[in-house]
Amino acid sequence: MNDRGRQYLKHLKTAFPERQYITNINKSNAHYFTNEIKATHIYNAISGQQQTDFNTPVIQQYR
């Protein structure tokens, strides 16, 4: 996520405080993302990569 995305997320949180925004997947909220996690496992099997939904940050540093 770049700076513009972070600004938009901050705007959403202030405009709609009653909504919950999940920005990191962890064991407590993984049940919301079962299909995405399965898709990641399939992608990793095909591509040979090892990243998971748990160790890939949403906000990444770009250089």
Nearest to 24 by CA among 55, 62, 61: 55
Q: Nearest CA to 22 among 49, 58, 50, 60?
A: 58
What's the pLDDT score for residue 51?
A: 78
Q: Which two tokens stand for residue 8?
A: 């938009």
- Rounded distance between C-alpha atoms, residue 33 and residue 10, angstroms: 22
Cβ–Cβ < 8 Å for 56, 36: no
**pLDDT of 4-61, one tens digit each?**
988 999 999 999 999 988 887 888 888 988 898 898 889 889 998 887 766 666 555 5
- Cβ neighbours around 53 below 10 Å, total: 15
